[in-house]
């Protein structure tokens, strides 16, 4: 096939992928409107999805209807919320399918090797999930770093005589995202008749934060038994500040290990693609000979083992 045709096909696929992602990520209503349209599932409470005027239509309503209520749907919904990606699980599946197809076709056309095309397709399939997990971790870290200031603000509001929900409103109006969005969601749920305790459970499910779990436990204890909540929040805020400082030191000390894991995974794949593009057929024995296939399988297993070992070494619980 003419290289120009291959370039046009590859460019078209990349352009289509970019357009599809822009339509899904940027289209539709604002974040605050879509928050009210997203279901949050926890073990204690299920908030049902409600329509919003001007909300984006579901591109695959049949798929959504088939998946709704399943464990996959609930888990994906929570993960998308934690990442700040206000999408339906069906939309996330569409993005993954487009990314996989683009990776498969482009990898196959560039290298001429079906196996490398399948490998790049698998990478394309996993890329949206990896981005979602990375965004969720970054958003959770931002939420944790904002939490001490939010607790100070909430404690001051309680000392001034405000009710707890009024304190939530102060935090929602004075703080920046992501914590302002989360407390605004709690206020929205309380306003539509959900109890404060259930709204706090939803907040805990969306955030997945251990520090916020302490805060929610203190608030629920105060709601049921009473007590000096402002003093408890001050103590928790001090403890969280210390945890954030210690986590920053750990991240700085382990950054080299995380970079090594990324290079360990990316370098063999990138080098294989470059060699196949520069010298077609050079790597054919690896994919056609039995010994070559066995070597590839062994290398993949060793690479996976190395990643798991590095991840275990860097997994420090504070």
Answer yes or no: is pLDDT of 91 > 50.
yes
pLDDT at residue number 303: 82
Answer yes or no: is pLDDT of 170 > 80.
yes
- Please report, rounded to a whole number, the percentage of residues in the chain having pLDDT higher than 90: 0
The whole-number average pLDDT for the span 66-87 is 81
Which of 44-53, 54-63, 92-101, 200-209 shows the lowest per-residue confidence on average (mean pLDDT)? 44-53
Tokens of 205: 């499910």
For the CA atoms of 229, 230, 236, 242, the dihedral, rounded to the nearest 10 degrees, stands at 180
pTM assigned to the model:
0.64
The whole-number average pLDDT for the span 251-259 is 81
Query: Which among 216, 188, 147 is positioned nearest to 36, based on CA atoms?
Result: 188
SS3 string, the chain, reads CCHHHHHHHHHHHHHHHHHHHHHHHHCCCCHHHHHCCCCCECCCCECCCCCCCCCCCCCCHHHHHHHCCCHHHHHHHHHHHHCCCCCCHHHHHHHHHHHHHHHHHHHHHHHCCHHHHHHHHHHHHHHHHHHHHHHHHHHHHHHHHHHHHHHHHHHHHHHCCCCHHHHHHHHHHHCCCCHHHHHHHHHHHHHCCCCHHHHHHHHHHHHCCHHHHHHHHHHHHHHHHCCCHHHHHHHHHHHHHHHHHHHHHHHHHHHHHHHHHHHHHHHHHHHHHHHHHHCCCCCHHHHHCHHHHHHHHHHHHHHHHHHHHHHHHHCCCC
Dihedral pair phi/psi, residue 209, rounded to 5°: -105, 130
Rounded to whole angstroms, how far apart are CA atoms 83 and 102?
24
208-238 pLDDT, tens digit per residue, is 888 888 888 888 887 787 778 888 888 888 8
pLDDT at residue number 36: 40
Answer yes or no: is pLDDT of 20 > 60.
no
Distances in Å between the alpha carbon of 195 and those of 43, 77, 265, 307? 16, 22, 47, 44
Look up the CATH number of domain 143-247: 1.20.81.30
Parse the chain into domains and list their residue ranges: 143-247
Mean pLDDT of all residues in the chain? 76
Query: Residue 291's pLDDT band (boundaries 50, 70, 90)?
Result: confident
Answer yes or no: is pLDDT of 69 > 60.
yes
pLDDT at residue number 56: 62
145-168 pLDDT, tens digit per residue, is 888 898 999 888 888 888 888 888
The whole-number average pLDDT for the span 94-110 is 83
Query: Which among 123, 91, 126 is positioned nearest to 104, based on CA atoms?
Result: 123
Q: Which pairs with CB-CB distance under 8 Å and at least 24 residues apart come from 261-267?
A: 261/306, 261/307, 261/310, 261/311, 261/314, 264/303, 264/306, 264/307, 264/310, 265/303, 265/307
The whole-number average pLDDT for the span 31-39 is 39
The whole-number average pLDDT for the span 288-313 is 83
Provide the residue count of the chain: 318
Answer yes or no: is pLDDT of 297 > 80.
yes
């Amino acid at each position: 096939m003419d290289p120009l045709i291959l370039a046009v096909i590859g460019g078209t696929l990349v352009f289509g992928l970019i357009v599809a992602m822009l339509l899904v990520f940027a289209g539709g209503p604002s974040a605050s409107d879509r928050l009210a349209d997203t279901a949050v599932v926890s073990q204690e409470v299920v908030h049902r999805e409600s329509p919003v005027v001007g909300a984006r239509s579901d591109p695959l309503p049949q798929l959504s209807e088939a998946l709704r209520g399943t464990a996959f749907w609930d888990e994906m919904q929570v993960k998308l919320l934690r990442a700040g990606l206000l999408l339906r699980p069906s939309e996330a599946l569409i993005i993954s399918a487009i990314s996989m197809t683009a990776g498969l076709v482009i990898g196959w056309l560039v290298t001429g090797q079906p196996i490398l095309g399948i490998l790049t397709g698998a990478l394309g399939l996993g890329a949206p999930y990896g981005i979602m997990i990375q965004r969720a971790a970054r958003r959770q870290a931002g939420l944790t770093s904002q939490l001490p200031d939010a607790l100070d603000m909430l404690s001051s509001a309680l000392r001034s005589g405000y009710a707890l929900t009024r304190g939530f409103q102060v935090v929602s109006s004075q703080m920046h995202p992501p914590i302002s969005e989360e407390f605004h969601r709690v206020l929205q749920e309380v306003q539509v008749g959900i109890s404060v305790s259930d709204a706090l459970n939803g907040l805990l499910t969306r955030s997945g934060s251990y520090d916020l779990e302490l805060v929610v436990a203190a608030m629920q204890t105060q709601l049921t038994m009473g007590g000096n909540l402002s003093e408890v929040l001050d103590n928790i805020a001090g403890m969280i500040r210390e945890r954030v400082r210690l986590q920053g030191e750990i991240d700085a000390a382990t950054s080299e290990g995380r970079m090594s894991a990324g290079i360990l995974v990316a370098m063999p794949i990138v080098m294989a693609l470059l060699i196949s593009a520069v010298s077609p057929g050079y790597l054919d024995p690896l994919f056609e000979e039995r010994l070559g296939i066995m070597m590839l399988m062994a290398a993949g297993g060793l690479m996976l083992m190395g990643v798991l070992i590095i991840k275990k070494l860097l997994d420090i619980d504070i």
